[in-house]
Structure 1
Amino acid sequence: MARAIQSLRKCPLFQTQNLLHHFQFQHQITNPISCSAPIFSPQSSTPTQIRNSSYVAEMRKSAINDNMLRLLRNEIQYELDHSTHQQQPPAEINGFKVFERRGEKWISLEKQFGENEEIKVEVTMFDGSIRVPNEGEKKGLPGQDIQLHISMIVSIFRKNSKQVLEFICSAWPDTLAITKLFVRQQAKVPQQPYTGPKFRELDDELQNSLYDFLEERGIDDSLCTFLHKYVNYKEDAEYIRWMKSVKSVMEK
């Protein structure tokens, strides 16, 4: 033993800390029963500790996933039980066929008008709102109602014409409001087209005649009422569909 220690002291590669480790190792070999110093550094983890740590991490991850899935299932069931718009509205209104674009924020409507016109309407989901006085506020009591807003793009195509007459409209719960009217090319749209003046700046009689033009084609206040009911249904359906998709991914 003394010769081993003396030999190590002469070796320049070993410092005091290394010498101590070698001494402990030699002492363990020659006195395996009396050795109390561990071979592993106190900072090292034993295989058992590593397995326990991994087990705890997996258990925690599983508990988080289970809790999230439970909350998603509860929310889905709550929406199914309490939704007031579960029944899908009719797929036709004022001669328009309605196409729901699942997973998107748009609804499409299409119809033929006369022999040479095709009308397409693109409708957003709710994209704005305003506060309006309610009956209580009119009587001097506090309170306001909220009216939700839907944007519409009405495109009118005519046979033998390369141009499209396009209306930008706002659909309120029971009122149609035209905000813009312009003509564009079917094939190529300029980057910065001239879209004419603001609709409200047009002559009043011309404004009224344009409302009559749309009303004749079934784009009127009754269509706005229908669209608000349909978008209410779509909002609920898309929310439930989204939660089910998240749940499906979490379950895999």
Structure 2
Amino acid sequence: MSLRQLRRRSTALLRDGGLLQALRAELSHELSSSSPQSQGHQVGSSVMGFKLEWDDPRAQDVVLRRHGDAEGEEIAVSAMLGPLRFDGEHALPRNARMKVCIKKIGLEPVLHFDCSIFRRQAEELVDGFGYGSSDFAVKGAYYHPSVGSLGVYKYRGPRFSSLDPQLQSGLKEYLVTRGIGIELTSFLIEHLHRKEHNQYVNWLRTLEGAYAKDA
């Protein structure tokens, strides 16, 4: 390194307070501590009987859809990671939020379920990601007279947790029989964590590139 380059680098370090070095260290750590994004599931590919319909790298959510199954139904599933949770100063594994919409082909009414996906074994991690099994809980069940009325509620119904336990179990089993099971929820929560990790790495690269211009 020439004296001129050394002076420029020293000036940059003084100007950013060592931020560039910190960004590079964090980026190196993230790249070395996790495996690359799986290439097996791209938009248009099949996932547990569903078609991966939407997975923009810049968006937080993912959408899967299944057309014309044995029940003559169309099923749409969307999911995104839930908010950060902490146990004191320690971050807990993030759950995921999942919406499931089911309608009979050729008919207007839609059944809409709000669900939460959670890890069954939070400590079962490989390369920084969870490969343990997951499960889901139904948080709300709604009826809409048409697709256009989604998000419009005249009567939301009782709180799901106040329903008879047998009815709660029956509604969950209704989803399980339509493919909303452990394999799908495990894929979703792992995929969403990898998706967020890739977004974080890209964000670090963007900042590193911006500050490197002045180095």
Q: Same fold (TM over 0.5)?
A: yes
Higher Rg of the two aligned structures? 1
2: CA distance between counterparts of 1:170 and 1:149? Answer: 7
The separation in 1 between residues aligned to 2:154 and 2:208, in whole angstroms, is 45
Q: Which residue of 1 aligns with 2:55?
A: 100
Q: Which residue of 1 aligns with 2:77?
A: 121
Residue 244 of structure 1 is aligned with which of 202, 205, 212? Answer: 205
Task: Name the SS of the counterpart of 1:120 in structure 2.
Answer: strand
- Do 2:142 and 2:156's aligned partners in 1 also have CA atoms closer than 8 Å? yes
- Deviation of the 1:163 alpha carbon: 2.6
Over 3 Å counting, the alpha-carbon distance change for 1:190 and 1:110 in structure 2 is closer
Q: Does 1:229 align with 2:166?
A: no
CA contact (8 A) 1:128 1:150 kept: no
Q: Deviations over 1:174-226 (max 9, x none)?
A: 22100100022312456553221122222333222222211111102332222
Is 2:114 aligned against 1:153?
no
Rate the CA distance shift 1:82–1:62 in 2: closer, same or farther, 3 A: closer
State the match for 1:77 in structure 2.
28
Aligned equivalents of 2:212, 2:55: Cα separation in 1: 28
Do structure 1's residue 206 and structure 2's residue 167 form an aligned pair?
yes
Identity rate of aligned residues, in percent?
A: 25
1:1-252 map, 5 Å: 63-65=14-16, 67-83=18-34, 85-88=35-38, 90-91=40-41, 92-98=46-52, 99-114=54-69, 116-129=72-85, 146-173=92-119, 174-184=134-144, 185-189=146-150, 191-251=152-212
Going from structure 1 to structure 2, the CA distance change for 1:202 and 1:122 (only over 3 Å counts) comes to: same
Higher RCO (CA-CA < 8 Å; seq separation 6+): 2
The 3-state SS of whatever aligns with 2:139 is strand
Deviations, residues 32-67 of structure 1 (Å, cap 9, x unaligned): xxxxxxxxxxxxxxxxxxxxxxxxxxx956852594
Equivalent AA in structure 2 for residue 108 of structure 1: V
Deviations 1:83-103 (A, max 9, x none): 2x4242742432123342212
Is the CA contact 2:82–2:94 (under 8 Å) kept in the aligned structure 1? Answer: yes
Give SS of 1:127's match. Answer: coil
Contact 1:101 1:108 in 2 (8 A): no
How far apart are 1:172 and its partner, in Å?
0.9
The offset of 1:80, in angstroms, is: 0.5
Deviations 1:10-45 (A, max 9, x none): xxxxxxxxxxxxxxxxxxxxxxxxxxxxxxxxxxxx
Structure 1 unaligned regions, length at least 5: 1-58, 132-143
- Tell me how many residue pairs correspond in the alignment: 181
The structure-2 alpha-carbon separation of the partners of 1:246 and 1:163, relative to structure 1 and needing over 3 Å to count, comes to farther
Change (3 A) 1:149 1:207: same
* TM-score, normalising length: structure 1: 0.61
RMSD, aligned CA: 3.0
- For 1:65 and 1:208, locate their aligned partners in 2 and report how far apart those are by CA, in whole Å: 56
Consecutive unaligned residues in structure 2, runs of 5 or more: 1-9, 120-133
* Distance of 1:101 and 1:219 partners within structure 2: 22
Gap change, CA 1:61 and 1:76, over 3 Å in 2: closer
| Structure 1 or 2: more helix by fraction | 1
- Residue 140 of structure 2 aligns with an amino acid whose one-letter code is K
**TM-score normalised by length of structure 2:** 0.70
SS of match in other structure, 2:94: strand
Structure 1 residues 224 and 112, CA, compared in 2 at 3 Å: closer, same or farther?
A: same
